[in-house]
Amino acid sequence: MKDGNSLVALLGKSEQDGQVKEVLANFGINTPLPRPKKGEIKIYVEPANKGIDFIFRYAEVLFPGSSDYAEGELIFDTIFFYPQAKGKKKEDQIALPFGLSVEFDRGHAYQKFGKPDWSSPRGNADKWLMKNISLHLEFDKDLKSIRLITISVHAG
């Protein structure tokens, strides 16, 4: 799967979902996933040199009181896209979601998504809350390119 929008569509799904398992396998990640360490609620999954990382979080933390998931089940919660990551092979590149590109500056983001719901006091990051996800863009210091795209489950 080389399409960021398809990955975003899997957010909120169980680690046991067939599509989630397929994506993990395509990134060379073995399932079942390891459990978080005692006292922790999430695990980081970091495919080597792919310019992308994932977080899986316990269902009972994301969806308290839900009977849709087994206790201890992990949910695909967050995707980190690193558009400027070094060492990525061309065949491993993933199309960024929402039509974003590394060349997107802050002005482009505001035109596309409107006024953000939150902006960093440091001035180089913005967050938009959408129906069921949160989109966080971190820009380079000059605000002319995207350094990090974080998309996570948002109960909205």
CATH number at residue 89: 3.40.33.10
> What pTM was estimated for this model as a whole?
0.92
**Of the candidates 39, 18, 27, the residue with the CA atom closest to the CA atom of residue 80:** 27
Query: What confidence tens digit (pLDDT) does each residue in 117-149 have?
Result: 999 988 899 999 998 999 999 999 999 999 999
* Other residues' Cβ atoms within 10 Å of the Cβ of residue 56: 25
Torsion of CA 142, 143, 145, 150, to 10 degrees: 130
Query: What confidence tens digit (pLDDT) does each residue in 52-61 have?
Result: 999 999 999 9
CB 126 within 8 A of CB 118: yes
Q: What is the pLDDT of residue 54?
A: 97
Please state whether beta strands 133-139 and 125-129 pair in parallel, antiparallel, or not at all (unpaired).
antiparallel
Q: How confident is the model at residue 86 (pLDDT cuts 50, 70, 90)?
A: low
Total number of domains in the chain = 1
CB 74 within 8 A of CB 15: yes
Q: Break the chain down into helix, strand, coil percent, rounded to 5.
A: 20, 30, 50
Q: What is the pLDDT of the chain when averaged over all its residues?
A: 90
Cα 28 versus chain centre, distance = 17
Q: Which residue range(s) make up the domain with 18? A: 4-153
Q: What is the pLDDT of residue 33?
A: 96
Measured CA to CA, the distance from residue 71 to residue 60 in angstroms comes to: 7
